[in-house]
Amino acid sequence: MRPFRFHITFSLVFALLLLAGFPALAQNIQQQRKELENKRKELTDKIKETKKVLEETRTRQKTTLSQLKTINNQIRTREKIINNVQEQLQAVSIQILEQQAVLDSLKRDMVRLKEEYAKSIRASYKTRNVYDKMLFVFSAKSFNQALKRISYLNQYSDYRKNQAKVILQTQQLIVAELTKMIAIKNEKMAILGLKEEEKKELEKDKQEESQVLAKLKAREGELRKILAENEKSARKLNKAIGDLIAREIELARKREEEARKKEETAGAVKKEAPKTVSKEMYLTPEALKLSNDFESNRNSLPWPVEKGYISEQFGTHAHPTIKGVVINNNGVDISTQPGASVRAIFKGKVKSIFSIPGMGKIVLISHGKYFTAYAKLSSVLVKEGQEVDTRDTIGTVLTNEEEDVTEVHLEIWNMSQKLDPETWLKN
């Protein structure tokens, strides 16, 4: 009796594992594929935005540096899409291997089940005579043994029925898994086609980039003058922001000293000022909390414009057309649509509003020890001292008609340290 009980239990448990276990096995890879597909759609939307800008610039006779930046951005995004598609292909390949393992396991089990079923059929054939079964029962030495033999025969009958049921379930599973395998392989072929299509588009973008570069080189003298003016404006902006932040720190220090002197006078006990002074010690508890809130939102801060792309990245890098010229950007330039609203990327207080030729109007907002600066605005809709919340509109973007560019310049400072805004904004 024990062998049959064991095989019945094993077969039923195995069938349940097949029905419930393998889908869970593929859940992680399926989730990964879903995330990759969502990311690809986001990148594709960015491509659509840059295409709109390029279509507009192509209608104009003058080739500008802004056009080259747009193409460069499109190339970078296109390369990200190709990498994303490659990751999807790897995920699908893993899924196919797992699916093949499922099928192989099912086929092996089908062979085992059929062998066991054949054995039970042969055993049943040998005892097919009802008289033999009755003799088997009545030849028992005791009544209890006869009951056990009847139970044994019933279990044996149930075992055969369960075997047939499990074989049928396994066959159905094999068909289902084969259908999944075909669907996954079809998806892989579609993704491969998408990859090839993106590679062709990338090649077209690079050809257009070469054409624009050739035209811009003919205007190198003019571009050098524009670049020199832009660098001059950037230096003025850097000094202005640095001075304003230094002034804020000094004001905070004076407030701290005055508060300490009042405590000394009230308590008649002189407190020595710390020999090593940290700039952060002058922050109020409210300002420290705001700073911590700002830090906790790293990589998830909203963009200062609803739609746009980074046309000039943070840091030092070579000029795209003029050899030997290096650009130093203290923030990021975000290309957007003419007349677009510019928004605060986090709650804070407007500390200063000023103008610099070539940089338009600038708004400086304090977020505790952090500061954000928004330059290249045509109009400002806030006032100094005003509290703003995340995504509150602070102005509108400036369009430079001469260079045919519409972009906002964003900088993030931690006290006197300049930070890369791209690592703080939501990707």
In this structure, are 399 and 260 located in the same domain? yes
In this structure, are 254 and 212 located in the same domain? no
Residue bearing tokens 């070539």: 358
- The DSSP line for 227-273 is HHHHHHHHHHHHHHHHHHHHHHHHHHHHHHHHHHHHHHHHHT---PP
User: In 3-state terms, what secondary structure has residue 362?
Assistant: strand
Taking the C-alpha atoms of residue 96 and residue 178, their distance in angstroms, rounded to an integer, is 11
In this structure, are 235 and 187 located in the same domain? no
pLDDT, greater one: 299 or 25: 299
- pLDDT band with cut points at 50, 70 and 90 for residue 141: low
Instruction: Lowest mean pLDDT of 44-58, 292-306, 377-391, name the range.
Output: 44-58
In this structure, are 345 and 208 located in the same domain? no
In this structure, are 36 and 159 located in the same domain? yes
| Per-residue pLDDT at 285 exceeds 50 | yes
Q: Who's near 54: CB < 8 A, 6+ residues apart?
A: 67, 70, 71, 74
- pLDDT over 90, % of the chain: 26
Q: Are 388 and 349 in contact (CB under 8 A)?
A: yes
Mean pLDDT of 387-416: 91
Length of the chain as a residue count: 427
In this structure, are 44 and 114 located in the same domain? yes
Domain boundary among 174, 191, 217: 217
Question: Cβ–Cβ contacts within 10 Å for residue 14, how many?
Answer: 18
Range of the domain at 375: 230-423
Q: Are 36 and 88 in contact (CB under 8 A)?
A: yes
The backbone torsions φ and ψ at residue 312, rounded to the nearest 5 degrees and listed phi first, read -140, 120
- The DSSP line for 369-402 is TEEEEEEEEEEE---TT-EE-TT-EEEEE-EETT
- Report which residue type is found at 299: N
Taking the C-alpha atoms of residue 216 and residue 206, their distance in angstroms, rounded to an integer, is 15
Q: What is the pLDDT of residues 390-401, one digit of tens each?
A: 999 999 999 887
In this structure, are 268 and 383 located in the same domain? yes
H-helix segments, 268-331: 285-296
In this structure, are 239 and 207 located in the same domain? no
Mean pLDDT of 232-237: 90
Q: Who's near 358: CB < 8 A, 6+ residues apart?
A: 229, 230, 232, 233
Domain boundary among 217, 242, 260: 217
The backbone torsions φ and ψ at residue 406, rounded to the nearest 5 degrees and listed phi first, read -125, 110
Q: Are 84 and 44 in contact (CB under 8 A)?
A: no
CA distances from 297 to 313, 363, 424 (A): 21, 21, 8
Nearest to 342 by CA among 366, 367, 360, 329: 360
Q: What is the pLDDT of residues 293-318, one digit of tens each?
A: 999 999 999 999 998 888 888 988 87
Mean pLDDT of 413-421: 93
In this structure, are 202 and 321 located in the same domain? no
Report the number of distinct structural domains present in the chain: 2
Q: What is the pLDDT of residues 272-284, one digit of tens each?
A: 555 444 566 577 8
In this structure, are 292 and 209 located in the same domain? no
Taking the C-alpha atoms of residue 147 and residue 150, their distance in angstroms, rounded to an integer, is 5
* Claim: this prediction has a pTM higher than 0.75: no
Mean pLDDT of 51-57: 66
In this structure, are 364 and 250 located in the same domain? yes
- pLDDT band with cut points at 50, 70 and 90 for residue 67: confident
In this structure, are 205 and 240 located in the same domain? no
The pLDDT assigned to 38 comes to 78
Nearest to 396 by CA among 372, 360, 371, 370: 360
Residue bearing tokens 């090593």: 276
Mean pLDDT of 173-202: 78
The pLDDT assigned to 318 comes to 78
- The DSSP line for 407-418 is EEEEEEEETTEE
- For residue 365, is it within any domain? yes
- For residue 223, is it within any domain? no
The backbone torsions φ and ψ at residue 274, rounded to the nearest 5 degrees and listed phi first, read -60, 140
- DSSP letter, residue 421: G
Q: What's the CATH number where 389 sits? A: 2.70.70.10
363: Cα separation from own chain's centroid: 30
